[in-house]
């Protein structure tokens, strides 16, 4: 399988390269997942779309991927190659600067080639958009737009009723609400701006019947080519209000129940998501998704096994 991966290799400020301190390796989050595709014997070609926008030095342009070791090319250098799949591995959230360059490249490609995570669908991938859709299907968190606990009557921010920030989020002291970024990676606008953040219902899983003492849980499941795969359930100490995999004291294999997985897969199709990590909490007998990250990192003790499964699923669906 020959995959064309269109990348945008910057940090959140959209001008600084995602490069190591020695300036000899580029570090896009998707590089670990790419490496799993290479391990299966597939070909991946990186085009650095950012280099179409900003003229990079020859040294910066030719830095290989940190994990895969793959080189990055200009589109003009590889435009005559043949590909089986196109992967819009740009960034999340989508840099608006990238859109015209991706569109121009797509005009030169065969429109019948399958496209993964099409930028046309994901250029406005916000929690408000996808959680609203997931909530309609009974698999999304509850959005609390009427929650007033973060603000004074005059509209200024008041965090006296919130715990100190945890993982960049705020949780109310009554464990009712959580304020989190509207977009998945990087805070483009301030957290308490209307477009910068969103308030969701907080589920304190440590207080659920049968919960392990002093532990909170969440689940992360890989999604690839129309299917939810096996991921992990993470257990984190309760002093961490917003549990993250890096803080987990243990993890166990986890899969969504079959009917729930089918509902989620249908929602991902509507959203135009082909590759993602999905994060959720178990709320009673239901699943409430709070994050759909279509630009997932795939390097680490728990993420690499998920990347392997995602790559194998792509192979099963698209290898021709």
Look at 56-60, 97-101, 273-277 and tell me which has the smallest mean pLDDT: 56-60
Taking residue 82's Cβ as centre, other Cβ atoms within 10 Å add up to 8
pLDDT of residue 52: 86
**Cα distance between residue 211 and residue 205, in whole Å:** 7
- Which is more confident, 306 or 21? 306
Condensed to tens digits (0 to 9), the pLDDT of residues 147-156 reads 999 999 998 9
Distance from chain centroid for Cα 197: 16
pTM: 0.93
Residue 126's Cβ-side half-sphere holds a number of Cα atoms within 13 Å equal to: 16
Q: Going from the N-terminus, what domains does the chain have, and what CATH number goes with each?
A: 2-122 (3.40.50), 127-140+206-318 (3.30.470.20)
pLDDT tens digit string along 180-233?
Answer: 998 865 556 788 888 889 999 999 999 888 889 999 999 999 999 999 999 999
pLDDT tens digits for 20-44? 888 899 888 889 999 999 999 999 9
């Amino acid at each position: 399988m020959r995959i064309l991966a269109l990348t945008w290799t910057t940090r959140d400020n959209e001008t600084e390269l995602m490069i190591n301190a020695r300036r000899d390796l580029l570090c896009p989050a998707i590089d670990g997942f790419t490496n799993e595709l290479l391990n299966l014997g597939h070909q991946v070609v990186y085009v650095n779309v950012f280099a179409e926008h900003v003229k990079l030095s020859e040294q910066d342009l030719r830095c290989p991927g940190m994990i895969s070791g793959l080189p990055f090319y200009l589109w003009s250098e590889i435009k005559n190659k043949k590909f089986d799949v196109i992967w819009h591995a740009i960034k999340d959230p989508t840099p608006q600067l990238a859109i015209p360059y991706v569109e121009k490249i797509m005009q030169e490609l065969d429109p019948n080639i399958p496209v993964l995570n099409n930028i046309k669908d994901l250029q406005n991938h916000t929690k408000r958009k996808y959680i609203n859709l997931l909530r309609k299907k009974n698999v999304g968190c509850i959005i609390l737009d009427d929650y007033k606990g973060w603000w004074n009557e005059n509209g200024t921010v008041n965090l006296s009723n919130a715990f100190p920030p945890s993982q960049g989020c705020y949780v109310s002291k009554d464990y009712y609400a959580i304020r989190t970024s509207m977009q998945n990676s990087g805070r483009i606008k301030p957290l308490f701006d209307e477009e910068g953040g969103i308030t969701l219902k907080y589920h304190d899983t440590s207080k659920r019947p049968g919960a392990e003492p002093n532990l909170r849980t969440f689940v992360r499941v890989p999604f690839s080519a129309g299917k939810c795969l096996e991921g992990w359930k993470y257990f984190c100490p309760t002093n961490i209000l917003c549990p993250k995999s890096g803080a987990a004291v243990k993890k166990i294999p986890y899969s969504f129940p079959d009917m729930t997985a089918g509902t989620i897969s249908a929602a991902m199709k509507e959203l135009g998501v082909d590759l993602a990590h999905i994060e959720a909490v178990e709320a009673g007998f239901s699943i409430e998704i709070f994050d759909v990250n279509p630009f997932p990192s795939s390097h680490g003790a728990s993420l690499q096994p998920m990347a392997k499964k995602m790559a194998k699923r792509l192979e099963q669906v698209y290898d021709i």
